[in-house]
Structure 1
Amino acid sequence: MPAVTVENPLTLPRVAASADAVSIDGIFDHQDSQGGGGTITNGDTQWMTAGSGLLHIEAPPESLVVSGGLFHGLQLWVNLPAKDKMMAPRYQDIRGGQVQLLASPDGGALLRVIAGELDGHAGPGITHTPITMIHATLAPGAEVTLPWREDFNGLAYVLAGKGSVGTERRPIHLGQTAVFGSGSSLTVRADEKQDSHTPDLEVVLLGGQPIREPMAHYGPFVMNTQAELQQAFEDFQKGRLGTIPAVHGMTEAGPQE
């Protein structure tokens, strides 16, 4: 997505969900009311678990606003099971060099395992339900078939390029999401001919165990019941989600005293 000019970045509340932001190209800053945050750039990932609630700001740094430029990335919202919705917020800062890098046997596909595991290779992201998240880059004509848990759903979101998915080779292109059916593997193939400005097919492969719980959500508030949703609104309106800058620091294990 392109970066936008931000003079007064919005302070956003979030309750009972995880937000995973992956930077492909460009740079932006994050700050939250639990003391988490930092700068993520090419290949970095931030994984923020809102839990009982926090405020956060995400914006391009002032230097980028002044000079102009693009930001290419992806933000994923992940629901939490009811038992974890009120956990203490936490923030994970995953540098690009920390992800598990894998290649297909012919070298045509590069796989970055951000969270979960692929064929015994685990990514650094810590999740509260079983999830797999992979950023895959396929050279023109390359094909890869990945083992996939049968109890997981699965989807592919196209960041760049064009190709096909599944044994039926359903076509996909930039901005499309393909949802896979049940099975023990996922297949992705890059078209032989790509656009001149996108030489490879880039997709994010996602999957996890369906939570299968009732959901009540409004904007960034994701709860199980309307009563819980109303309580989240009240907590936000009464300032219980904290302030930015944070009053207390925070580590990946939770708030510091």
Structure 2
Amino acid sequence: MEIKEVRNVLKAPAPHMVGDGFRVHNFFPSGYEIDMSPFFLMDYGSKIEFSARKEPRGVGVHPHRGFETVTIAYQGAVAHHDSSGNSGIIYPGDVQWMTAASGILHKEYHEQAYSLAGGPFQMVQLWVNLPAKDKMSTPKYQAVKQADMAKFILPNEGGVIEIIAGNYQGIKGNASTFTPIELYNARLNKGAKANFDFNSSYNTGFMIIEGSVKINDSEIAYANNFVHFKNKGELIEMEALENSVILILSGEPIDEPIVQYGPFLMNTEDEINQAISDYNQGRFGYLEE
């Protein structure tokens, strides 16, 4: 076993708004041209204060096909609805894992009580690609609440590893995945160390949500940095230089062609054209604005 070395420590790209409720830094695919398959997109909503407002900010009804959206809340609260009849509220520490697959309509916006009060807001949304054989499977929804999340408690009051998906130290995450994915939140206290062991071929990255960390006793990464690792070696050691929160992503690449058009992520142009046609003909269901 050898050390998985850091390829780059990437600073947050300039932010942009998604709807009027989500200010995000797109680390990939547009911010940096890095291969993080099966993770196709990562929007990081760095900490921002929203003023109180009666009418919640957010994103109106929009379609998805061919992938999954994973929304991880750190501060603030997000409400959502989809055309399969699923709805819910994502509070700090919660995760919403929506499999759009064959097609779904979706809307997401600030939860009413949070909107009325205003306050800090921070989140991550991932787009997880699906293999060709699963792209037209039935949509589904997984809510992973903080209270129910699988956790590994680090020794000596070092903190906790929350396992959203995958397996850490023999503890399995709640979310089921179509391809091998490791997705954790590491909440480390100052001075704590945590070790990770990922397949050398897996695409791996750490999003520093809060604090600062030292990786492999060499590279230092700060809040709002993304640490991108080389596809070589397996072992990563992380030390918290202060109380820190880190989102950890690692997954087996999907070696298939990708064609993206807006909210559709398919394998061929013909499939994109079919998605547009199906959407225009109302085949994604109905969802009220």
State the TM-score, normalizing by the size of structure 1: 0.86
**Structure 1 runs (4+) greater than 4 angstroms displaced:** none
Q: Which of residues 138, 150, 156 is equivalent to 1:100?
A: 150
Correspondence 1:202 to 2:251: no
Asked whether the equivalents of residues 193 and 238 of structure 2 are also in contact (C-alpha less than 8 Å), the reply is yes
Asked whether the equivalents of residues 35 and 245 of structure 1 are also in contact (C-alpha less than 8 Å), the reply is no
By how many angstroms is 1:245 displaced? 4.9
By how many angstroms is 1:80 displaced? 0.3
Question: What secondary structure, in the 3-state scheme, does the structure 1 residue paired with 2:120 have?
Answer: coil
1:142, 1:8 → 2: CA distance? 37
1:174, 1:221 → 2: CA distance? 31
| Matched residue, 1:131 | 181
Question: What secondary structure, in the 3-state scheme, does the structure 2 residue paired with 1:154 have?
Answer: strand
By how many angstroms is 1:72 displaced? 1.9
Gaps of 5+ in 2: 1-44
| Matched residue, 2:273 | 230
Q: What pairs with 1:50-65 in structure 2 (closer than 5 Å)?
A: 50-65=100-115
Asked whether the equivalents of residues 180 and 186 of structure 1 are also in contact (C-alpha less than 8 Å), the reply is no
Gaps of 5+ in 1: 195-199, 247-257
Asked whether the equivalents of residues 57 and 110 of structure 2 are also in contact (C-alpha less than 8 Å), the reply is no
| Matched residue, 2:287 | 244
Question: What secondary structure, in the 3-state scheme, does the structure 2 residue paired with 1:11 have?
Answer: strand
Residues 163, 88 of structure 1: CA spacing in aligned structure 2 closer, same or farther, 3 A cutoff?
same
Structure with greater strand percent: 2
2:212, 2:144 → 1: CA distance? 28
By how many angstroms is 1:42 displaced? 2.1
Asked whether the equivalents of residues 109 and 144 of structure 1 are also in contact (C-alpha less than 8 Å), the reply is no
Question: What secondary structure, in the 3-state scheme, does the structure 1 residue paired with 2:119 have?
Answer: coil
2:128, 2:144 → 1: CA distance? 17
Q: What pairs with 1:64-79 in structure 2 (closer than 5 Å)?
A: 64-79=114-129
Question: What secondary structure, in the 3-state scheme, does the structure 2 residue paired with 1:97 have?
Answer: helix
> Per-residue CA shift, 1:59-95, capped at 9, x if unaligned?
0123322222222221111000000000010011111
| Matched residue, 1:177 | 226
> Per-residue CA shift, 1:41-73, capped at 9, x if unaligned?
121111000000111011012332222222222
2:180, 2:59 → 1: CA distance? 33
| Matched residue, 2:18 | none
| Matched residue, 1:122 | 172
Question: What secondary structure, in the 3-state scheme, does the structure 2 residue paired with 1:74 have?
Answer: strand
By how many angstroms is 1:141 displaced? 2.1
1:187, 1:153 → 2: CA distance? 17
> Per-residue CA shift, 1:93-120, capped at 9, x if unaligned?
1111221111223331310001011122
Residues 206, 8 of structure 1: CA spacing in aligned structure 2 closer, same or farther, 3 A cutoff?
closer
By how many angstroms is 1:7 displaced? 5.5
| Matched residue, 1:85 | 135
Correspondence 1:140 to 2:190: yes
2:233, 2:168 → 1: CA distance? 15
2:120, 2:277 → 1: CA distance? 37
Q: CA RMSD in A?
A: 1.9
Asked whether the equivalents of residues 109 and 143 of structure 1 are also in contact (C-alpha less than 8 Å), the reply is no
Residues 106, 74 of structure 1: CA spacing in aligned structure 2 closer, same or farther, 3 A cutoff?
same
Question: What secondary structure, in the 3-state scheme, does the structure 2 residue paired with 1:239 have?
Answer: coil
By how many angstroms is 1:9 displaced? 4.1
1:154, 1:7 → 2: CA distance? 33
Percent of pairs identical after alignment? 33
| Matched residue, 1:40 | 90
Question: What secondary structure, in the 3-state scheme, does the structure 2 residue paired with 1:234 have?
Answer: helix
* Aligned residue-pair number: 238
Q: Look up the equivalent residue of 1:75 and give its one-letter code.
A: Q
| Matched residue, 1:156 | 206
